[in-house]
Amino acid sequence: MRRTSNTKLTLLHVVLQLIVVTACVYAGYKISRSFQIIPYSVLPLPPVYISPNDLVEIVSIFFISHLGFYLFSAWIYRTPALRDSARFAGEYMFYLLGYTTASLYLFLATTINYDAQMVAAIGLFATVGLVILFALYALVSSGSIGRLFSSLFIAPWAIVKRLFSISGLLVMLYFVSPLVLGVAFVADRDTANVITQIRIFFNQEETTDWGLVNAVGDTVFAQPLLVKLNPVKSDELLVLERAGVLKRIDYPSGDNMQVVLDIAQKLGEVESENGALGFAFHPEFGQAESSNAGFIYLYYTNYREDGQTNYLSRFDISKNSVAEVLSTEQHILTMHRESSGFHNGGSVEFGPDGYLYIGLGEGVRLPELFTYADVFRAGILRIDVDSKGGLAPSQLKNGVTANYTVPADNPFVDTDAILNEYWAIGLRNPFRISHDPKTGQLWAGDVGSTIWEEVNLIEKGTDYQFPAVEGRVPIRHEELTDEDKEWTASVPENVPQKGPVYTYEHTAYDRAVIGGVIYRDGPYEELEGQYVFADNYSAKVFLLRTGQETVDSVERMTTADQFAQRGVSSVTQLYNGDLIVTVLGAASSPGGEVLRLVRAHEAAISNAKKGPKKQEAATADQALMVYNADGMKSLFVVNCARCHGIKGDAKGPDSEKLGVPVPDMTTPEFHASRDAQQLYDVIYKGGAAVGLSPMMPPWGGFLKDQEIEFMVRYIQELERSE
């Protein structure tokens, strides 16, 4: 009977300690968001973003780790942990083992940002909490206030004595191992590589039932943005390249590539998010009896030193030569904008109603013009390019509108605060939109800012709440700029508001959503009616199960083998059922691909046949790489300019939203304080690994080592170029 009672008491002590540790994990997280446990003067640790979902996982890791060690301790000692100071000191050693194991697991085996401030706070609070628990238990068991206060001194002294035993010293060596690994990770590249490989081993992506193969043989392109099947030729693709070239190619052989349209001279400099961004066939394309038989609608940017203009234009590609096609351009939208080049949007898609829908980002405006009554930006437009009736085009304050009318049933035609062309507002950068062929519903991938990406189901006349809300998180009013406050206040209160169907937080790699398609009538029945989309930077292709108003998680289908600036630019479904993914490839040379989604075993067979050839090409490409400032500028602008600015002057569109200072790379002070190795390390390992902000992601593994070396050289030359 006494043994049973003793066992119950021992288990009760385990439960009490787990409650304390779990509470201290939460407290450590909350307090370390606002206060530095380790003074910056002692160790300059940057702030680290930990999401609520990450916190749940962290709590679970610490709980499970301590549960295991506490149960092991109970089995060894067979006595309650809080019985006396000697027993408590022994129990504290097991606490340290659990704490260190949990810390190492966080560091080595998860994708969660390792926040040393939070981990230090957990250790400090849990130590204090366990000592207080010991004292409170002494009070309850003895009924003496004196025992309470004496225990507060006895317990720490007993712990110190135990630490100087052989077992205590061994525990302390284990306890400092995360710190040693952290320092080695920052100081030594070889160690960092080993740790990175360990992380990769523990966080390998699970194999899936899907893969990607080149849809057009071995043919590659110069940054393909979008692919569509010729509406009247099921064996012909049209591929739009970012530099303004539209090509036709036999499908699926990849033979007989021909240039249909070349507007490269109209684009000016193609950098940041500029270039040819999207195109659509007129619904009557290819119908010989129609005057629209040869028309496509193309959205592109024209960048100059003194500014930028975005165009939506119509071209007749039925003409006999490239020059003749170019001469048929008819401007529909001409929109002057600020010159950063970010957040242009990009999609132009005809809906089942025959009207043209255009996705525009919030950057398409001049600095002094930002409301929906002034300009087209941050939303979806709907226009009638056939001008079959309706209203005259609105007059823009930053451009020209022509050659279309506004459908009379557009939702804002009677709203003075919002121009008639708008179909929906409150989006940040809807780069890819598409209609469900069966239901007509409009879906959009909305590229976010520093934390959130969104997938939205677009409804007529709805406000999707940017910039007041991102993801599903309201932005505090005081954090909005004066312009954003005025902008959001200008939206009438009676406009209905809606949030995203799905939203995800940025990781080092998942941070630029590419809207996709609702899969219909293809060869894979299990995908019917589901939304397939991607992320540009990570090159992952995802499956979103539809049918619910909001979705909390999606399935990774597969991952393309080109990332970051080479990543996914579109997900489309051809009318023959094939699902196509385009990846940009390097900006410096043609390497972009048009890929087709297939079963995993088909992809394995196809890639095995091409594997040696592909590897030989990659090796040759690596060996032939030479430094080119223009190529590195393109690489820098695509990957770095959102935060660091196109010129490296810290004036990127997201720089003020990061919550940390962004260095001006054009100043002598910046270069005087950093050598080439330090620049290499922060690019390769990321900010968190070298004591800087984790908002700077690691590029090792995404960029080639030689590309990073060239990037360092380019950054060092920014001062001289200025």
Name the DSSP letter for residue 476: P
Say what the pLDDT of residue 180 is.
81
Say what the pLDDT of residue 44 is.
60
Highest mean pLDDT among 340-349, 412-421, 501-510: 412-421
- Whether the pLDDT of residue 316 is over 50: the answer is yes
Say what the pLDDT of residue 721 is.
58
CA–CA–CA angle 231, 235, 240 (5° rounding): 65
The string of pLDDT tens digits covering residues 267-293 is 987 877 899 999 999 999 999 999 999
Candidate from 447-451, 486-490, 504-508 with smallest mean pLDDT? 504-508
Cα–Cα dist 520/523, whole Å: 9
**Cis, peptide link before residue 252, omega less than 30° from 0:** yes
Cα–Cα dist 703/214, whole Å: 22
Do the bridges between strand 452-458 and strand 430-435 make them parallel or antiparallel, or are there none, so unpaired? unpaired
Say what the pLDDT of residue 86 is.
93
Q: What is the mean pLDDT of residues 42-54?
A: 69
Cβ neighbors of 236 (< 8 A, separation 6 or more) are: 229, 230, 248, 249, 250, 251
Say what the pLDDT of residue 613 is.
44
Q: Categorize the per-residue pLDDT at 188 as very low, low, confident or very high, splitting at 50, 70 and 90.
A: low
Between the CA of residue 84 and those of 18, 74, 97, 98, 354, what are the distances in Å? Answer: 19, 14, 20, 21, 81
Q: Categorize the per-residue pLDDT at 619 as very low, low, confident or very high, splitting at 50, 70 and 90.
A: very low
Candidate from 431-440, 484-493, 615-624, 666-675 with smallest mean pLDDT? 615-624
| pTM of the full structure | 0.76
Say what the pLDDT of residue 54 is.
85
Partners of residue 349 on adjacent β-strands = 357
Candidate from 303-312, 556-565, 618-627 with smallest mean pLDDT? 618-627
> Do the Cβ atoms of 398 and 369 come closer than 8 Å?
yes
- Whether the pLDDT of residue 169 is over 60: the answer is yes
- Give the CA dihedral 325, 331, 333, 336, nearest 10 degrees: 100
At 596, is the secondary structure helix, strand, or coil? strand
Q: What is the mean pLDDT of residues 561-581?
A: 89
Candidate from 8-17, 40-49, 61-70, 89-98 with smallest mean pLDDT? 40-49
Say what the pLDDT of residue 415 is.
95
- Whether the pLDDT of residue 565 is over 70: the answer is no
Q: Categorize the per-residue pLDDT at 620 as very low, low, confident or very high, splitting at 50, 70 and 90.
A: very low
Say what the pLDDT of residue 28 is.
93
- Whether the pLDDT of residue 551 is over 90: the answer is yes
Q: What is the mean pLDDT of residues 58-81?
A: 95
Say what the pLDDT of residue 43 is.
63
Between the CA of residue 628 and those of 634, 694, 717, what are the distances in Å? Answer: 10, 29, 12
Say what the pLDDT of residue 478 is.
84
- Name which of 602, 524, 611 is nearest 561 in CA terms: 611
> Do the Cβ atoms of 492 and 414 come closer than 8 Å?
no
Say what the pLDDT of residue 49 is.
67
Highest mean pLDDT among 265-269, 363-367, 642-646: 363-367
Write out the two tokens for 618: 């990659």
Cα–Cα dist 575/552, whole Å: 30
Which residue did the predictor score with more confidence, 670 or 39?
A: 670
Helix, strand, coil percentages for the chain (3-state, nearest 5): 35, 20, 40
Say what the pLDDT of residue 443 is.
98
Name the DSSP letter for residue 290: S
- E strand or H helix that includes residue 229: strand 224-229
- Whether the pLDDT of residue 636 is over 60: the answer is yes
Cα–Cα dist 566/224, whole Å: 10
Cα–Cα dist 603/618, whole Å: 19
- Give the CA dihedral 643, 644, 646, 652, nearest 10 degrees: 40
Sign of the CA dihedral with 498 first, then 504, 508, and 514 last:
negative
Say what the pLDDT of residue 186 is.
59
- Whether the pLDDT of residue 520 is over 60: the answer is yes
Sign of the CA dihedral with 409 first, then 410, 414, and 420 last:
negative
- Please give the sequence-ordered ranges of beta strands (E in DSSP) within 327-421, or none if there are none: 330-337, 348-350, 356-360, 379-383, 399-401
Q: Categorize the per-residue pLDDT at 606 as very low, low, confident or very high, splitting at 50, 70 and 90.
A: confident
The string of pLDDT tens digits covering residues 129-143 is 999 999 999 999 888
Q: Categorize the per-residue pLDDT at 339 as very low, low, confident or very high, splitting at 50, 70 and 90.
A: confident
Write out the two tokens for 655: 């720089």
Q: Categorize the per-residue pLDDT at 81 as very low, low, confident or very high, splitting at 50, 70 and 90.
A: very high
Which residue did the predictor score with more confidence, 450 or 677?
A: 677
Say what the pLDDT of residue 612 is.
47
Write out the two tokens for 379: 């939303």
- C-alpha atoms less than 13 angstroms from C-alpha of 50 in its C-beta half-sphere: 28
- Whether the pLDDT of residue 196 is over 70: the answer is no
Q: What is the mean pLDDT of residues 649-675?
A: 83
Q: What value does the mean pLDDT of the chain take?
A: 89
b/e map 312-321, b = 16+ CB within 10 Å: bbbbbbbbee
Residues in the chain: 722
> Do the Cβ atoms of 711 and 636 come closer than 8 Å?
yes
Which residue segments constitute the domains of the chain, with CATH numbers given? 2-202 (no CATH), 267-574 (2.120.10.30), 629-721 (1.10.760.10)
- Name which of 303, 296, 299 is nearest 361 in CA terms: 299
- Whether the pLDDT of residue 673 is over 80: the answer is yes
Q: 661 exposed, middle or buried (CB, 10 Å; 0-12, 13-18, 19+)? A: exposed
First and final CA of the chain: distance in angstroms?
84
Say what the pLDDT of residue 189 is.
59
- Name which of 515, 231, 521, 115 is nearest 345 in CA terms: 515
Q: Categorize the per-residue pLDDT at 417 as very low, low, confident or very high, splitting at 50, 70 and 90.
A: very high
Say what the pLDDT of residue 4 is.
62
- Name which of 402, 372, 397 is nearest 387 in CA terms: 402
- C-alpha atoms less than 13 angstroms from C-alpha of 637 in its C-beta half-sphere: 20
Q: 395 exposed, middle or buried (CB, 10 Å; 0-12, 13-18, 19+)? A: exposed
Say what the pLDDT of residue 518 is.
98
Sign of the CA dihedral with 168 first, then 169, 172, and 177 last:
negative
Write out the two tokens for 420: 């008639």
Say what the pLDDT of residue 445 is.
98
Helices (H), strands (E): how many in the chain?
16, 28
Say what the pLDDT of residue 61 is.
96
The string of pLDDT tens digits covering residues 682-708 is 888 888 777 777 778 777 766 778 888
Say what the pLDDT of residue 495 is.
97
Name the DSSP letter for residue 405: B
Candidate from 170-179, 387-396, 544-553 with smallest mean pLDDT? 170-179
